[in-house]
Chains A and B, each alone.
Chain A
Amino acid sequence: MNTQQYIQSGVLEAYLLGLASDDEQREVLEMKVLYPEVSSALNELEIVIEQYCLDSAVPPPPGTWELIEARTVGTEIKKRESVNGHEKTAEPQPEKPDFLEVAFSDTYIRVHKYWRIAFIAVFILSKIFLIAGLYYYFKADSQSQEIERLKTAIQQQSTR
């Protein structure tokens, strides 16, 4: 079979659509490397197939990306947990489902990690100001009492 016959056999379409067998896939990859005609035919077909699939594209429901994002984060957390679990214990882990349930209609918000430092700083400053406020309040109070005491002392001295 020459290259033109090979291109026209339809095996390239089957390969790109994921319908080809493992042997056919290997054969296509070999032919692609060996024959530039096959390579360029594959490139052209990629565009045709992409265009065909884009013609039947349907916009996903709104909020789909947020769900994907939430699930991806969930998977990463789960993976990290399982890696840490293997390091710490060699005990067999109970079988868990391949996905992590993520509640997406919750009331939580995600903020940048730098906000943590800002919150701590605001908390510490608020405590400092509170203590300073109390200190100056009691200081002013005691001073006013002292003034009152001195005033009465002066008045008593002047009446004598």
Chain B
Amino acid sequence: MNELERSSENGALRRQRKPIDQRALYDRFGAMAYGIILQILPQNQAHEVLLEVFKSVNLLSFSNPAVSPAITIIRMARAKAFEYKEKTGQAQREQIEPISSTGSYSPESIFDLTFRQGYSFEAISEQSGISKPEILRAIRDYFQMFHRS
């Protein structure tokens, strides 16, 4: 399926007024959500979070036309993974560790710190000395690099 077809399908899903079928969402985005969760949590915990994501009642009222279902799933998977991390106390342990041992901050490492490790822009800015606009631009650069590759 090419990007155009996928985007039109996404649009169709987005325009649906009735609740989207949970099974259809799982079939389409289950692997994607699991991949995101695995970037944040180990496998034994990731499975539990995946169940929570798709069990979530928010999925049944998927009527937010502001973003596509894929984006909603991405956000939800990430949020649930960090919620789980916080609940199990892993987040606190990691907060006291230094953000970067090498001192280098490539767009990829900044994306990793924000998206995968869950550091706030303020925390990264404080520890690395990089301003928030620069962090945002680094995230954009990371996706630009991905898009070009």
Contacts and interface: CB of A to CB of B under 8 A. Distances in A.
B31 interface: yes
Given A29-B66, A50-B70, A72-B55, A61 B78 contact: no
Contacts of B10: 46-47, 50
Contact of B71 (A10, A46, A57, A67): A46
B99 interface: no
Interface in B19-62: 22-23, 26, 30-32, 34-36, 38-39, 47, 50-51, 54-55, 57
Interface in A17-68: 17-19, 29, 32, 43, 45-54, 56-61, 64-65, 67-68
Interface size class of B (residues with CB under 8 A): 35 or more
Contacts of A50: 6, 10, 32, 68, 70-71, 74
Interface of B: 3, 6-7, 10, 22-23, 26, 30-32, 34-36, 38-39, 47, 50-51, 54-55, 57, 66-68, 70-71, 74-75, 78-79, 114-115, 121, 133, 135-141, 143, 146-147
Given A29-B66, A68-B22, A14 B30 contact: no
Given A16-B71, A49-B143, A71-B55, A9 B30 contact: no
Contact of B54 (A10, A16, A49, A68): A68
Nearest to B28: A54
Nearest to B77: A53
Interface of A: 8-14, 16-19, 29, 32, 43, 45-54, 56-61, 64-65, 67-68, 71-72, 75
A88 to B, nearest CB: 23
Contact of A10 (B6, B36, B136): B136
Nearest to A65: B26
A64 B26 CA distance: 10
A1 to B, nearest CB: 10
A67 B136 CA distance: 38
A18 B78 contact: yes
Nearest to B38: A58
B55 A18 contact: no
A46 B70 contact: yes
